[in-house]
Each structure stands twice: as C-alpha cells, then as structure tokens.
Amino acid sequence: MLIEVREEFADLSGIKVLSRFLQGLQSNSLSDVLGVISTYGAYIQECPFPAFTNFILLRLAETFQGEKYSLKLVEFLNDVRLRIVKSLRENGKVIRLAFSGGRHFEATEAVIRCAMKVSHSNDYRARSLTLLFLGSLAPLIAENKKVSPISFISIT
C-alpha cells in the first residue's frame, strides 16, 4: 500500500508543473527562461493553491535577484527582470484569485528581500525594475505591516 501512495504522489499535476517551472528557470536558453516566466500564470491556474503560488513567486523573486541564474545569461538579466515585472502585472488577477481566501502568503518578506537586494545595485535599470516589481506586487503586499518598513528602508 505504501508503494501505491508513492505512485499516486508522483502522478500529482502540481509536482509535474513545479518540475517544468524549475527546469525552465534553470535553463541555459534565454527563450526557455522567458517562456516559463511568461506562462507561470497558466501554472497557477492549473494548481491555484496559496502554497504553490507562494513557491512560484519566491522562485521568480530569486530569479529577479539574479543569484540563482545561469551564468551564461547574466548579460540578459535586466531583460529577464523586465519579463518578470510584465508577467506579474499580466497575471495579477490570477495571483489574487489564488490568495482570495483571505490568506496572504507567508513568504512576502522573502520575496521583497530578494527584490530589495537588486535595489542596491549600481545598475540604474535594475533599480528601476525593482520599483516596478514592487509596484506589481502592491495589491498583495499592501496589507502586510512588516513589508512596508522593509521596502521603505531599502528604497531610502
């Protein structure tokens, strides 16, 4: 019976979706990375659970930060950041729907901290993209009292 449970667990669509998402973000091809970022809204629609959405947003924030990004594609990092910002704006309703039960995701601080590390960059484009990133998450983070001081201190 234990083997049957594990086989059922392997067939869950959420695990398959997460593996596709992570493989795309870790790809050495710019088109694969941008494609996964553009279609993450469909992944959230497939599995609209707060924990799943939280995981995807955290991985997008880590990609936005750039530390866990392919070294071959570092020169395109601002393009990837711009795609993340546009995708967050396009899929804002999907994200809000996943959190519509009144539960705001717990990793708000982690997502914001990843973005704030970029705000200390010497690259003015990266800093401006950080503000756009925070603006696209504003409907989700507005009610979290811990996030406002973090973002205010980091910007000033």
Q: What pLDDT digit, counting tens, does each position of 75-109 carry?
A: 899 999 999 999 999 888 877 776 665 555 555 67
What is the number of alpha carbons within 13 Å of residue 122 lying toward its C-beta? 0
pLDDT at 28: 87
pLDDT at 93: 81
Dist. CA 6–CA 75, nearest whole Å: 42
Non-local (6+) Cβ contacts of 152 within 8 A are none
Q: Please state the pTM of the whole predicted model.
A: 0.80
pLDDT at 6: 39
pLDDT at 56: 87
Residue 35: both structure tokens together: 């494609």
Residue ranges of the chain whose pLDDT lies below 70: 1-14, 69-71, 98-108, 143-156
Largest CA distance in the chain: 58
Radius of gyration of the chain (CA): 16
Q: Which of 93, 94, 87 is nearest to 33 (CA)?
A: 87
pLDDT at 5: 34
Residue 37: both structure tokens together: 């970022």
- 68, containing H or E segment: none
pLDDT at 11: 43
pLDDT at 129: 92
- 46, containing H or E segment: helix 40-46
